[in-house]
A = this chain, B = another copy of it.
Amino acid sequence: MRKNILYAQSGGPTAVINASAGGVISEAQKLGIGRVFAGINGIEGILNENLRDVTQLSQEDVRLLQHTPGAAFGSCRYKLAEFDKAPDVYRKISEIFQKYDIGCFFYNGGNDSMDTCCKIARYFAETNTPCQVIGIPKTIDNDLAETDHCPGFGSAAKYIATAIHEIALDTASYPKGKVTVVEIMGRDAGWLAASSIVANHCGAGPDLIYLPEKPFDIDAFAEDVKKVYGKKHRCLVAVAEGIKDEQGNYLTVYQGKDTFNHVQMGGTAYRVAKLLEERGFKTRAVELNLPQRCAAHLMSRTDRNEAIKSGKEAVRQFTKGATNCMIAIKRTYVNGKYRAKYFAVPLENVANAVKHVPSRYILPHGQISSDLLPYILPLMEGTVPQRYSNGIPHYFKSDITD
């Protein structure tokens, strides 16, 4: 049996993706599994044999890694073609895995990365390659199927709810305020935009919230804004970046495409604000932007811990012989207290699937049902104390940062 394992990161980083890396490394150290390699820049670096031996990473470095945003081992947006389109790529992967005696490949990413995992696992099965493949979930978007929620979401939701609560207090300052349009990440699924209701629950948040799951009707929206403004002399609007009009066109201005042929978002708040200006409103556009996925100074303790445990569970599933699977989280309540359990789900069920916000939570007139709160709140619970140096958090520095 092959002795070593290979861990790599893929897709957009989150505040806690490195916590999962730490979980994999520390569990492998604890169980005395052979050598632990990190693939630099995901499958793209692995194909260039860009591997680092992290077996001996110190406890202090693992601890620091688990507090650090970004993808410490580098990420990629590499689209793995089907076997018949690129047989050489699959053979190259096999060769490198054999050379480094890799018994399990852990890929930490979202649904595109799970598609890559799935293809590699299928190829290994067909070629009787003695290497397991296990996906570790990661996405702020919370849109992976088969799991109650995804590591990365809780911290992003905590940042978003906090930022929009602070913005609500700030924009309440003027007697005659503007319509402030805040853009929140989420191309297909509105979990992050929906999580801004936590700020309302705390006394000051968005008056109106719009998700990609329901068509965005600009005239109905302008009516909703008018009503709020008439009452409060200001209006705070949260829009998911991926909202679409009745014809299914994104409202965003900039519409480049990435390697997965996904539309690249950005500029939705500016576009929505402009539509309101044309209707006579004074506006301000705010994009919460990258801090949503990298504000590790405000990470959720629950989310961070679950990211670590997902990594650890992946290593345990390897020792049990699991393959072609992703670690998923099941929510339970013990004496009314939230608990997470970890299990493995088939990669086929996850790859390329998208879990949307159920329509029962999306009410008319830009309202989100508070019934969603019991789902979101436990995932945002707790803070992670950071060590500060020179007034800012002290983070792990990997060589990719140079």
User: Is A75 part of the binding interface, using a Cβ–Cβ cutoff of 8 Å?
Assistant: yes
The majority secondary structure among interface residues of chain A is mixed
Which A372-402 residues have a C-beta within 8 angstroms of B?
A: 377, 380-383, 388-395, 397, 400-401
Contacts of A266 in B (CB 8 A): 284-285
CB 8 Å contact bits of A46-86 with B (1 = contact, 0 = none): 00000000000000000000001111101111000000000
Q: A163 contacts which of B41, B72, B291, B293 (Cβ < 8 Å)?
A: B291
Contacts of A213 in B (CB 8 A): none
CB of A4, distance to nearest CB on chain B (Å): 23
Q: Flag if B393 contacts A296 (CB, 8 Å).
A: no
CA A163 to CA B393, docked complex, whole Å: 10
CB of A119, distance to nearest CB on chain B (Å): 21
User: Is A298 part of the binding interface, using a Cβ–Cβ cutoff of 8 Å?
Assistant: yes
Q: A395 contacts which of B169, B198, B298, B382 (Cβ < 8 Å)?
A: B169
Q: Flag if A41 contacts B286 (CB, 8 Å).
A: no
Q: Identify which of A199-207, A218-226, A308-316, A351-359 touches chain B.
A: A199-207
CA A288 to CA B158, docked complex, whole Å: 18
Contacts of A77 in B (CB 8 A): 174
Between A68, A162, A383, the greatest number of chain B beta carbons within 10 A of the residue's beta carbon is seen for A162
Q: Flag if A294 contacts B401 (CB, 8 Å).
A: no
Q: How large is the interface on A (under 10, 10 to 19, 20 to 34, 35 or more residues)?
A: 35 or more
Q: Flag if B291 contacts A392 (CB, 8 Å).
A: no
User: Is A173 part of the binding interface, using a Cβ–Cβ cutoff of 8 Å?
Assistant: yes
Contacts of A400 in B (CB 8 A): 172-173
Which A268-307 residues have a C-beta within 8 angstroms of B?
A: 270, 284-291, 293-298, 300
CA A165 to CA B270, docked complex, whole Å: 26
Q: Which residue of B lies closest to A396 (CB)?
A: B169
User: Is A161 part of the binding interface, using a Cβ–Cβ cutoff of 8 Å?
Assistant: yes
Q: A169 contacts which of B171, B284, B401 (Cβ < 8 Å)?
A: B401
User: How many copies are assembled?
Assistant: 2
Q: Flag if B198 contacts A390 (CB, 8 Å).
A: yes
Q: Flag if B286 contacts A166 (CB, 8 Å).
A: no
Contacts of A267 in B (CB 8 A): 270
CB of A140, distance to nearest CB on chain B (Å): 11
CB of A42, distance to nearest CB on chain B (Å): 9
Contacts of A170 in B (CB 8 A): 13, 69-71, 290, 293-294
User: Is A167 part of the binding interface, using a Cβ–Cβ cutoff of 8 Å?
Assistant: yes
CA A386 to CA B9, docked complex, whole Å: 33
Q: Which residues of A contact B (CB under 8 A)?
A: 9, 13, 41, 44-45, 68-72, 74-77, 157-158, 161-163, 165-175, 180, 198-199, 201-204, 266-267, 270, 284-291, 293-298, 300, 377, 380-383, 388-395, 397, 400-401
15 A-B pairs with CB atoms under 8 Å apart are A9-B173, A44-B175, A69-B170, A70-B166, A70-B171, A166-B297, A170-B293, A170-B294, A171-B290, A172-B400, A198-B392, A204-B395, A287-B289, A291-B291, A382-B391
Lowest 6 CB-CB distances: which A-B pairs, in order?
A: A380-B391, A70-B169, A170-B294, A71-B173, A75-B173, A166-B294
